[in-house]
Structure 1
Amino acid sequence: MKLGIAVLVLAYGLSQFYRAFLAVLAPDLQVDIGAMPDDLAAASGVWFLVFAAMQIPIGIALDRVGPKLTAVVMFALGAGGGAFVFAMAQSPIHVIIAMGLIGLGCAPVLMASYFIFARTYSPAVFATLAGATIGIGSLGNLAGASPMAWAVTTYGWRETMQGLGIVSLLVAALIWVTVKNPPKVETEHRGSVFDLLKMPQLWPLFALMFVNYAPAAGLRGLWAGPYLRDVYGADVSLIGQVTFVMGLAMIAASFAYGPLERLFRTRKWVIIAGNTLSVVSLLILSIVPDPGVWVSAALLAAIGFGGSTFPLLVAHSKAFFPAHLTGRGVTLVNLFSIGGVGVAQFATAPLHTYGVGMAGGFTTAYGLIFAFFLVTVLCGLIAYFFVTDRTD
């Protein structure tokens, strides 16, 4: 089982990579196939929306057929096939289609790991295991920065994407060989996702889930690249360095929040503290969008750290789930989280276009994007204040 989890973490690393690499490719895609920032925002949004849309059927599949078959089929067809489609792209629409396929393929791998944790390990260590999975898997997020920039410069972006397609197929084969399904929960109650949606104590969690990851994922995966290029004239190398720093902050957060929960004996207030850090950083950038490239890098890193409370939010939510709805529960939470990122990507694209045409140009455009993220996270945080704290 441990080897299977390690392979699922490897697959999740590729998922993290695929949601983050567009920021580095932005200059090359604009030159080669005319993909503008708005096109890439749409492509990134499609990745997250397809990923989110698949969570309900994935939850049903996890509870009924298990994580092994669910992850293998979707990762091979989606992540592998989508990478090859991306490598052949001749226009922005091809990139959008490819990102949709990749989003479908990446959708089950983290939830497959969480499903195994929930069925196999004590609830007391779930948040730590969940955070460690994201922390280790987020090395793929780092690979989407400087290493991706190096590969594109050395081999070309099409050849790099072909190599990623091959790697994705190999990882799918390893999942088939190593992952074992945990025992099923025997119960007379079948239940459905609607039983979870009827639980009022979950809705404050859903509200924060919908917005808390959107700034970190949206900026790290897409807007950081155009922002640094347009406001500071950054090249691919500098963009890779700044996004690498932001990725490191997100990894550090994934390892930190679980121990902090045990240290302070609260999930709610650790989550509130992390998201407050995001709010303060977004407030500064929305007021002063060009404070200097390394000040911006530090604030982006703070947003990444504050927006990485996902494992703790899943652990908090899981405390309310009936055991036989574990698969549907964790995927429902993931739907809100990833779906919020997708919606935010589509919402910020017209803000960028509108801001560029205003006085201040690019500075105004990115100030509007930061302000959008600020308002949405603040609203989610206010709703979350009303949730019941649970550490079981």
Structure 2
Amino acid sequence: MVKGLVWLIVAYSLSQFYRSCLAVFAPVLKADIGLGADQVSTALGVWFLAFAAMQIPVGWLLDNRSPRKTAAVFLAAGGAGGAMVFAMAQGPWAIYAAMLLIGIGCSPVLMASFYIFARSAPTNRFGTLAGLVVGLGSLGNLAASAPLSWTMSLIGWRGACWALVVATIAIAFALYKFVQDPPILDQSETSSSGGLSAVLKIWPLYPVLAIAGVAYATPAGLRGSWAGGYLSDVYGLGADGIGRVTFFMALSMIVGALAFGPMDRIIRSRKHIVLLGTSLACVCIAWLWAGAGQQSLFMVTVLLVGIGFFGSAFSQIMNHGRTLLPAHLTGRGVTLINLFSIGGVGIFQILTGRVFVSAAVQGTDNLVAYKVVFGLFAVSLCVGCLVYLLSKERDDQG
């Protein structure tokens, strides 16, 4: 299983790379094919929408077909195919098509990992394994920064894309060769009827879906969009200064995922782990909200790092949710949770963008608008925690 775990981590790292690389590609794409900033944002949105939309069919494939083959084939066809379209792009629509294909290609990678862990690994190891994949896989975010820029300086942006085609195919082949499918369910486990509709009838799952919908949206939204603008508009930082602060926040998200993964072997309640982490993240964003514009740059950095670290309990949210699922619905259940998590990021990006524009128009400067955005994140996390308090968990820690 060790070789399989390594390649699952590498594949998820590639998925993280693809969702982060547009920021580095953006300047050369603007110069070479006229891709504007709004079109870069649209292209990234296409990736997330394609990824989210595929979670339902991916869930069915995990439950009814080979998760190993599903991840390998999607990554080779969609991921490598999309990178190929990207390499040959001559305009914005080709970039949209490329990101659509790449989003589809990456869509089963993490959930295939979780499905295999849920079905094959000891119950008390799920959180640890999930945390390893999420934490170490997030190194792909770092690879999509200076290393990508260096590669582009050597072989150009199209050359870098062709290198990604080769790397994606190689990783897909490694998934096919080294990852092992979980044991086939016996007749008694598969005899129960139902699909996604059956998952939606599992009422104890709904508080888990609620916390999944808001928990990742705050650190992802701040790291991906709002931290940079806030540091630039309010604190006057340039690209280097913003890069340093957001690097530490990204690093805290990796460390947080690795720390939360095995925590259920110390704190014997997944629910309490998720509540502890998300509540502390809520405190950090509320603190940022309350003192916006008056805090030192050091304090802002500390709070962003705190949000990144404490907001990284996704593996334990998934760990809690999968315990509520019968074996034959594991694939559709975990992908539904992931749909809420990824979909939550997209919804909050759109929502915070609109309230920011509205507040900026009404206010005298952007500080008021940033405070509204931080307040929205803080309130959503607070409401999510209150709903999650109603959740129940099974005692299967053995």
Q: TM-score, normalised by structure 1?
A: 0.89
- Map 1:254-293 onto structure 2 (within 5 A): 254-290=257-293, 291-293=295-297
> 1:66: how far off?
1.1
Q: Indicate the residue corresponding to 1:317 in structure 2.
A: 321
| Counterpart mapping for 1:207-222 below 5 A | 207-222=210-225
Matched, 1:373 2:374: no
Aligned 1:120-135 pairs, distance under 5 A = 120-135=120-135
Deviation at 1:91, TM superposition (A): 5.3
2:36 aligned residue: 35
How many Å apart are 1:297 and its aligned residue? 2.8
How much does 1:126 deviate? 0.8
Q: Is the 8 A contact 1:267 1:390 kept in 2?
A: no
Measured on the aligned residues, the alpha-carbon RMSD in Å equals 2.6
- Does residue 54 of structure 1 match 2:44? no
Task: State the secondary structure of the residue aligned to 1:104.
Answer: helix
How far 1:133 sits from its partner (Å)? 1.4
Question: Structure 1 residue 116 and structure 2 residue 116: aligned?
Answer: yes
Equivalent pair of 1:44/1:345 in contact (CA under 8 Å): no
Per the alignment, in what secondary structure is the counterpart of residue 325 of structure 2?
coil
Counting only pairs closer than 5 Å after superposition, residues 221-260 of structure 1 correspond to structure 2 as 221-260=224-263
Is this contact kept in 2: 1:39–1:92, CA < 8 A?
Answer: yes
- Stretch of structure 1 that moved more, 133-142 or 341-350: 341-350
Aligned-residue offset at 1:207: 0.6
Question: How far apart are the structure 1 equivalents of 2:355 and 2:44?
Answer: 16
- Distance in 2 (alpha carbons) for counterparts of 1:40 and 1:351: 21
Q: How far apart in 1 are the matches of 2:48 and 2:24?
A: 18
Are the equivalent residues in 1 in contact too, given 2:323–2:393 (CA < 8 A)? Answer: no
Query: In the alignment, is the contact (CA less than 8 A) between 2:58 and 2:108 conserved in 1?
Result: yes
**CA offsets per residue over residues 100-155 of structure 1, 9 Å max, x none?**
32221111111111111112111111111111111111111222344345445666
Task: Output the CA distance in 2 between the equivalents of 1:97 and 1:136.
Answer: 29
Residue type of the partner of 1:212? A
Q: 1: CA distance between counterparts of 2:234 and 2:186? A: 58
Query: Which residue does 2:9 correspond to in 1?
Result: 9
Is this contact kept in 1: 2:8–2:133, CA < 8 A? Answer: no
1:389 paired to 2:393: yes
Q: Which runs of 5+ in 1 are unaligned?
A: none
Task: Give the Cα separation in 2 of the matches to 1:3 and 1:66.
Answer: 18
Alpha-carbon separation, structure 1, partners of 2:234 and 2:148 = 22
Deviation sequence 1:50-73 (CA, Å, 0-9, x none): 212111111111121111221122
Q: Classify 1:198/1:165 alpha carbon distance in 2 versus 1 (closer, same or farther; 3 Å).
A: same
Partner of 2:206 in structure 1? 203
Give the C-alpha shift of residue 238 in structure 1: 3.5
Cα deviation digits, residues 304-352 of structure 1 (max 9, x gap): 1122111101111111111111111211111111111122222233334
Query: With CA pairs under 8 Å and 6+ residues apart, which has the higher RCO, 1 or 2?
Result: 1
State the TM-score, normalized to the length of structure 2: 0.88
Say whether the 8 Å CA contact 1:20–1:217 is kept in structure 2. no
Offset of 1:20 from its aligned partner?
Answer: 3.0
Amino acid in structure 2 at the alignment position of 1:10? V
Distance 1:16 1:382, change over 3 A: same
Question: Structure 2 regions of 5+ residues with no counterpart?
Answer: none
Q: For 2:227 and 2:145, how far apart are their aligned partners in 1?
A: 11
User: 2:306 is matched with which residue: 302, 305, 310?
Assistant: 302
Q: Which residue of 2 aligns with 1:354?
A: 358
**Counterparts of 2:154 and 2:229 in 1: how far apart (Å)?**
22
Are the aligned partners of 2:124 and 2:264 in contact in 1 as well (CA < 8 Å)? no
The structure with the largest alpha-carbon Rg is: 2
Give distance in 1, aligned partners of 2:325 and 2:370: 39
How many residue pairs get matched?
391
Q: 1:60 to 1:283 in 2, by over 3 A?
A: same
Structure 1, residues 267-291: CA drift from partner, whole Å, max 9, x if none?
1121111111221222233344444
Q: Distance in 1 between matches of 2:299 and 2:353?
A: 24
